[in-house]
Structure 1
Amino acid sequence: MADLKDSPTGQKVRLPTPEEDAEINKGIAQDPDARELDDVWFAAAKPVWEFPDLVKTLQKHGYLGRPPMPPEQRKQRVTLHLDPDILAALKADGKGWQTRANAALRRALGLDA
């Protein structure tokens, strides 16, 4: 295998060597049920969210997160400097502290609906 490379998502991936790639393509060519997904296939592809029954099944088994939100409703990443005791208090209950901080700010600002 070749060295690790950065993928478009920022994850490290190990790409096959040219020899391994040739062997993989040979196997694909010999398998009548296998086909390479090309630009035509991707152009016709639809997002999984357009198939509610499939989404329900995948979510039931933990394969999907939440559906994407419209851009105007998405949270925004910010850098915020907090006093150490405030951060410790927020993190005291463990995972989800940022969501709890957001809820506390909403209450404090009177934005709770």
Structure 2
Amino acid sequence: MTTGASSVCVKQTLEKSNAMPKLKPQTIIPTPDEDLAITAAAATDPDAMPLTDTQWKQAKPKSRIGRPPADITKERITIRLSRDVLKQFREGGAGWQTRMDLALKDWLKTRSSR
């Protein structure tokens, strides 16, 4: 159940996401006639041919931002740990979660299969 306040926040967020960005004060917006002339000129320029809808659907970025997808993904969980255990792993610096994962895998190796 949503309250009146949260629905107002959602509405404001949606309105902001659909809003056009603010333009710089010196921006000159072409008139509809100028816009038609610009579009007509671009359509006659073979180096500036607009893409069709099909071409836009097939377009893919040349580079990918961020980490490449992993072959084996890990599951995100929430876990409660003793402060001293967490402190020890974090003091090791970056990669403490990976070290904790490896420690748990080592522990699993010592367990007999049941």
TM-score (norm 1): 0.47
TM-score (norm 2): 0.47
Considering only CA atoms, is the larger Rg found in Structure 1 or Structure 2?
Answer: 2
More strand by share: 1
More helix by share: 2
Q: Which has the higher contact order (CA 8 A, sep 6+)?
A: 1
